[in-house]
Structure 1
Amino acid sequence: MPNRLAQTTSPYLLQHADNPVDWWPWETDAFEEARRRDVPVFLSVGYSACHWCHVMAHESFEDEDTAAYMNGHFVSVKVDREERPDVDAVYMEAVQAATGQGGWPMSVFMTPDGEPFYFGTYFPPEARHGMPSFRQVLEGVHNAWTSRRDEVGEVAGKITRDLAGRELSTGDAGMPTEETQALALLQLTRDIDPASGWFRGDTKFPPSMVIEFLLRHHARAGSVAALEMAEGLCSAMARSSLYDQVGGGFHRYVLAPRAGGSLVPHFEKMLYDNALLCRVYAHLWRATGSESARRVALETADFMVRELRTPEGGFASALDADSDDGTGRHVEGAYYVWTPEQLREVLQDDAELAAQYFGVTEEGTFEHGSSVLQLPQAEGVFEAARIESVRSRLLAARGARPAPGRDDKVVAAWNGLAVAALAETGAYFDRPDLVEAAVGAADLLVRVHLDEHARLSRTSKDGRSGVNAGVLEDYGDVAEGFLALASVTGEGVWLDFAGLLLDHVLTRFTDPGSGALYDTAADAEQLIRRPQDPTDNAVPSGWTAAAGALLAYAAHTGSEPHRTAAERALGVVKALGPRVPRFVGWGLAVAEALLDGPREVAVVGPALGDPAARALHRTALLGTAPGAVVAFGTPGDGEFPLLADRPLSGGMSTAYVCRNFACDAPTTDPDRLRAALT
């Protein structure tokens, strides 16, 4: 019989709806039930594309004996971290502080008041490798609760007080300076491995936000080192198994190989990674004209539209790492790996060429004789048309395999990132279909995720808004997407929607005294602490995402409150950037825009379809000035404040490049405009 999770909309929670565990969703009634029964709460946090979450579910949560013990001694609460990033952040901070590491599934035992006292991540069904079994953990926690309650209470109270004391402030750091940016770049050069092009470390996540900083720093300061590092990182990612060499798009991360081995990906594909990296490669092409960057940007955009777009026009969260291997077993990577024999079945005479090109060996570079696809040799030694034919045939053949599961929930923040990426990529490469996809996702965010007070819901599914309130990253990233769409389409309504969201940032997420930002609104559900983290994870932190959108909106409108809020928020970048630049990459990128102005570009024409106006508009969008904003319309167009008092020059389409609404001499020449934006 299904448990309470059957009434939820989260694909991850629904995966557990038939467990024998008597799961509760995160709600007040669950904690009331624990208080009534005088038992601890067991909190399990994961997400639908999490491989080890599935493993622990199969091993423990589907086991009748384990479930019976859990039901008898605990109230068990299951949380989708993608729906409740605030819950995840608060308790992950506790896990990391107590154990020195974190990850998912996250397992936390807490009092009925939500105070944590024992932590872990994945627990195996039997003790191994120095780890206790999950049953041993359950019995140990139960015994401590029943026989050493005072000790449990002391531990829980101390942890909660420690967490509550971790308030952050921008303090007196001030705004980032030239020195801040230079020191951050210097630290990054120390972290990079020049031989591989990757940052050092065994687990390699795509450093999307850092690359955006490097490209902007090159554009503003002329740093050759920054551009070379960005190119090296992008080349390393695109040639490795992190990138889906057949279908486009990126996996979540790769693990460093054993001696002589290959990088092995964790095969789940996340919307946020692909949105961020699509934009990164489009910006790299904009800076360098690299054909490889152009190909990766477009293939990644096409992957998102082809495999992640929902019937309602939004974008699904993720594809699973695991899929059916054709024998009924769910196996990680089964959809993506190849053996030489499989290549021969599909490609016949081209199989040997494909094996050389993609690094497929008889021994295999992954598991059971299969190989991950990568590009171990220079692409130029292979005939491009033949390789394209190989790719298309492999993609068609792969389409006949059992596909990975898809998490269909629409996350506001990640869709905001996708809107920005698809709008810009479509504009750069004359792909109006990609711009239309961006508009479709933005429309969904307005129709489904925004209420009558312009408050965001975090998620939706099947066109129905979820119950969880949007957090700071939702407001920042959706505003960022709307601002990018306004610049690309010339439709000022997107600027208006961004302004509505950013008003909430100013009034509900910002500390009026210090200018510090919180991840949850002042009127949101109160947890044991109000989460607040200015550092990037796999996505820009809500703090710096909001700062970037506030700065861009101020450039569009001249709003002093928005600019001041952005400047105050960026104090944390000055404090952290020189020491840990890999964790504040987006903040450093926003700081580059601040140091550059950012520049404001107004393009006016007698009509939006005027060829000369369109040429100037495209030139403005392709300008590399960090964080430049673009307004496009007719003279006096009331939708964009930047267009006020910007007449045509000699009756011709005209562009104005400004800072703080003070403009250089207007130009009708795209070449002069290009020079003014580099």
Structure 2
Amino acid sequence: MADVNRLASATSPYLLQHAQNPVDWWEWSPEAFAEARRRDVPILLSVGYAACHWCHVMAHESFEDESTAAYLNAHYVPIKVDREERPDVDAVYMAATQAMTGSGGWPMTVVLDHDARPFWAGTYLPPQPRHGQPAFTQVLQALADAWRDRRGEIDQAAAGITEHLVAMNTASQPQDSAVAWSVEDAIAALAEQFDPLAGGFGGAPKFPPSMVLEFLRTVAGDAVSGTDASERQKQALHMLHRTLAAMAGGGMYDQLGGGFARYSVDRGWVVPHFEKMLYDNAQLLGLYARVGGELGERVARETAEFMLRELRTPEGGFASALDADSDDGTGRHVEGAFYAWTPTELDEALGVERGRWAAEVFEVTEAGTFEHGMSTLQLRHGIPKGEQRRFEEVRARLMDVRDQRPRPACDDKVVAAWNGLAISGLVDAAVLLDEPRYLAAAIAAAELLVTVHLRDGRLLRVSRGGVAGSHNGVLEDYGCVAGALLALAGATADAEWMRRGLDLLDVALAQFCAADGGFHDTAADAEQLVVRPRDASDNASPSGTSAMIHALRQAYALTGAGRYLEAADQAVASVGGLMSRAPRFAGWSLAAAATEIVEVAVVGPAGAERTALAQKAWRMPGAVVVIADAATEGIPLLDGRTQVDGEPAAYVCRNFVCERPVTDPAELRA
């Protein structure tokens, strides 16, 4: 067996993690399917991602095992896919896995025939039978025997499952654009699922509901307390602020270095699944900045600093994730080893007196809140009053000590859509925290996307080390990147960013539009899979459809071109049923649909007065803002805009009909 397999030439760090497996892996390609036909064996499709804990476990137990690999190589053509590089492949076979098993997750294990039709699916499989699960090798042997001896049954199963996928895909496509939805109904449905004790929605595991929280912020509007709010606004405010405080105070938030883990395994946000994803932090950065206040500004700044410090690549983009696992100092890879503490470790780092103080502040107990007597760091009651300096000294010392620990691995591939989210979040933070470094970082990431990911007017999904991969962008890439470039145009008044964003939207409208006004997730000229993926529901990041809705509204506000507003309205109508049935999975679409577009031009020389106007405008629900020194050619929203009596002014417009310009931020509310 060679030292490396054919994954050694892959772009994906996840695939590269498997390049030294004894498994004879192929990437997803026509050549792999041709090989399966030549040998007359089925395809074993394994899908995961670099920061996935159980992917690592299954790799160590099975894919690194010589005897398991030998059987797999002899009886299958094994294909390894990074779900983050090929979200289209992942979406199709995750739907199959959920249909066949009732659940899904990663690693995902699917067995296909030569036409890419699935006939068996599962997730993690242990090396020996365990808790009612068969061993991986038992599954491999049973399916290989069935392929050899009962091919007719397999053909029948594959055909039936594929027909079911086609029917599911058709049913999931909007048939109910006329379905009535309302903000009141959405708020009521969210309130029913809201956790009044711990914040968030539903039980464990609990994911950060970034897009739903933005919808709640939109509904709350300018109300800041119960005294000036309607009943609907009161509900929205309560759910919003309770959840933001709970997430930021729990162990899911890194109290030392900033940034959020992917989700909490418990309902109280105490113990995270420790991987840190770019898409979560990018969205939460912008959300906390837009909400503002002492908590919002602190968390936004810390999260931005985390992203710049730990996720930024040498080329100026942002890496996809940090792993959940790291070396615990004994050679074992353990989840959370980098982040968790014992009281003894605090004493050793800080001295006994400060160690005990830190244990109390961060809720580090002798029993531990995590595993093996370890605790996550929490900050439920905020920084103790009058102890800010002591707190910062303790936190800095603990960071220094933690930095000596073996670090989690970094998945350093640059994903276009997630970098678009990062750019947008950094632009929000740059304006609202008045921090030019964040804007500079956003511009650098945008320049990387334009120079590396943009080829002949089309987006490529990923790059690594400044070299683009071969996979085409999907709808979320176009929506998120276009929205980011338009946000940059707003913050810089640089018409070139606007032009590039509009170009991407034009490509998306030509390649991804569906007959009902919604969108497909893959381009019309993309590789044809067994079904063409289409899902308007938000998951951990915005769906391609909801990202497009926001970007199209931005485009209309900046240019006045009615075709962008028409496309946005049609897309909103296409998800009316989803917004009515499942608002938790339509938060980003709801955030757009619940607000009227407000166009705001802020004009005047840089300084405190312009900054105050820009920050007030930037937080207005539904507002698309452009900030400039003076009237600027190339951005219609800035046409004819000037200062008023020598002072910076804000022009507030709807459908390009403007109110009188104002110079006082307080007047913007009216």
TM-score between both structures, scaled by the size of structure 2: 0.95
Q: Deviations over 1:290-314 (max 9, x none)?
A: x122111110110000000000000
Match of 2:75 in 1: 73
2:454 aligned with 1:450, yes or no?
A: yes
2:358 aligned with 1:358, yes or no?
A: no
Counterpart amino acid of residue 626 in structure 1: P
Gapped runs of 5+ residues in structure 2?
A: 224-228
CA contact (8 A) 2:652 2:658 kept: yes
CA distance in 2, matches of 1:172, 1:368: 52
Match of 2:226 in 1: none
2:228 aligned with 1:229, yes or no?
A: no
Counterpart amino acid of residue 342 in structure 1: E
CA RMSD of aligned residues (A): 1.7
CA distance in 2, matches of 1:78, 1:437: 33
Q: Report the CA distance shift for 1:92/1:383 in structure 2 as closer, same or farther (over 3 A).
A: same
CA distance in 1, matches of 2:635, 2:584: 35
Structure 1 residue corresponding to 2:614, chosen from 602, 612, 617: 617
User: 1:272-421 to 2 correspondence within 5 Å?
Assistant: 272-285=279-292, 289=293, 291-348=294-351, 349-377=353-381, 379-380=383-384, 383-421=387-425
Superposition deviation, residue 627 in structure 1 = 2.6
Q: Report the CA distance shift for 1:652/1:333 in structure 2 as closer, same or farther (over 3 A).
A: closer
User: 1:155-304 to 2 correspondence within 5 Å?
Assistant: 155-165=157-167, 166-167=169-170, 168-171=172-175, 173-174=177-178, 180-219=182-221, 222=229, 223-256=233-266, 263-285=270-292, 289=293, 291-304=294-307
Structure 2 residue corresponding to 1:424, chosen from 407, 428, 431: 428
The worse-fitting range, judged by mean Cα deviation, of 7-16 and 565-574 is 565-574
Equivalent residue of 1:204, what SS?
coil
User: 1:605-644 to 2 correspondence within 5 Å?
Assistant: 605=604, 608-609=605-606, 612-621=609-618, 624-633=619-628, 636-644=631-639
CA distance in 2, matches of 1:25, 1:72: 17
Q: Report the CA distance shift for 1:220/1:39 in structure 2 as closer, same or farther (over 3 A).
A: farther
Superposition deviation, residue 140 in structure 1 = 0.8
Q: Report the CA distance shift for 1:322/1:172 in structure 2 as closer, same or farther (over 3 A).
A: closer
Superposition deviation, residue 646 in structure 1 = 3.2
CA contact (8 A) 1:174 1:568 kept: no
TM-score between both structures, scaled by the size of structure 1: 0.94
CA distance in 1, matches of 2:609, 2:401: 45
Q: Report the CA distance shift for 1:663/1:372 in structure 2 as closer, same or farther (over 3 A).
A: same
CA contact (8 A) 1:52 1:104 kept: yes
CA distance in 2, matches of 1:350, 1:39: 64
CA distance in 2, matches of 1:250, 1:525: 35
Between the two proteins, what is the percent identity of the paired residues? 54
Q: Report the CA distance shift for 1:314/1:84 in structure 2 as closer, same or farther (over 3 A).
A: same
Aligned residues: 657
2:485 aligned with 1:482, yes or no?
A: yes
Superposition deviation, residue 196 in structure 1 = 1.8
CA contact (8 A) 2:423 2:443 kept: yes
Q: Report the CA distance shift for 1:61/1:550 in structure 2 as closer, same or farther (over 3 A).
A: same
Equivalent residue of 1:203, what SS?
coil
CA distance in 2, matches of 1:563, 1:540: 19
The worse-fitting range, judged by mean Cα deviation, of 271-280 and 567-576 is 567-576
Counterpart amino acid of residue 345 in structure 1: E
Gapped runs of 5+ residues in structure 1?
A: none
CA contact (8 A) 1:656 1:667 kept: yes
2:661 aligned with 1:666, yes or no?
A: yes
Counterpart amino acid of residue 572 in structure 2: L
Q: Report the CA distance shift for 1:615/1:381 in structure 2 as closer, same or farther (over 3 A).
A: closer
Counterpart amino acid of residue 614 in structure 2: H
CA distance in 2, matches of 1:136, 1:26: 25
Q: Deviations over 1:382-430 (max 9, x none)?
A: 7222111111110111001000000010000000000011111122112
Superposition deviation, residue 639 in structure 1 = 2.3
Superposition deviation, residue 28 in structure 1 = 0.6
CA contact (8 A) 1:268 1:318 kept: yes
User: 1:23-172 to 2 correspondence within 5 Å?
Assistant: 23-165=25-167, 166-167=169-170, 168-171=172-175
Equivalent residue of 2:458, what SS?
coil
CA distance in 2, matches of 1:265, 1:634: 45
Superposition deviation, residue 464 in structure 1 = 0.5
CA distance in 2, matches of 1:267, 1:604: 44
Superposition deviation, residue 378 in structure 1 = 5.3
CA contact (8 A) 2:511 2:524 kept: yes
